[in-house]
Amino acid sequence: MDDETLDRLVAEAKAGDREAFGRIFDAYAGPIHRFVASRVNSPSDAEDLTQLVFVKALEALPRYEARGIPFGGWLFRLARNAIIDQIRMRRDHLSLVAAVTRETDDAGPEAKATLQEDLDRVTQALTELTDDQREVIELRFFAGLTVLETAVAMGRQEGTVRGLQFRAIAALRRSLGIEPKAAASATAPSVAAAAIQVLR
């Protein structure tokens, strides 16, 4: 969805147009759900929190003012706050990489074993990042936010987000033994190499 369309839908939704809000929901529900699912303990919790984010968004929408803040970043900040609230209440959450470590049902036993080995290496590499570095990777590459949207969601400056992203990618490359110019090397595990290619 382009910025002009989104701005128009937000204005219409603020004016009470439920269909406009429905289109916003359709555009953001998937990315918000992926972000939430990577941080909570069960699929049902992820579904509930995703719905809660949009309920909160609908309630807060009349007070929303862009002021240079992307709407997507505002939504992800609501999601981040909802997750923090749940963690404070329940004190249990899944690691950041839960979404990418779930096995696919259609792979054969050998493919599953190889995939799991690769994913285990990526998972381990991600756990070695700082909390802020993991969150930047999650928002930028799992949820697909821009640097500005990520900065808004985290309450940080864009330069800080870029710095965290740069250091996180460098740390992942070191941890996985993948040199910057050799990410697609035949000796590098396929999932690990693909992860680094995506994070470039």
Which residues have CB under 8 Å from 46's CB, separation 6+?
33, 36, 37, 40
28 contacts 81 by C-beta, under 8 angstroms:
no
pLDDT higher for 131 or 143? 131
168 contacts 95 by C-beta, under 8 angstroms:
no
pLDDT higher for 82 or 121? 82
How much is the pLDDT for 45? Answer: 83
How much is the pLDDT for 119? Answer: 72
Residue 120 CA from chain centroid, whole number: 19
pLDDT bracket for residue 197 (50, 70, 90): very low
Long-range pairs of 41-45 with CB within 8 A, sequence gap ≥ 24: 41/90, 41/92, 41/93, 41/94, 45/86
Alpha-carbon gap, residue 123 to 58, rounded angstroms: 35
> What are 54's two structure tokens?
């949009």
Amino acid identity at 72: G
Quote the pTM value.
0.54
**DSSP character at residue 128:** T
> What are 70's two structure tokens?
């992307």
Amino acid identity at 71: F
Domains and CATH numbers, the chain: 3-90 (1.10.1740.10), 104-199 (1.10.10.10)
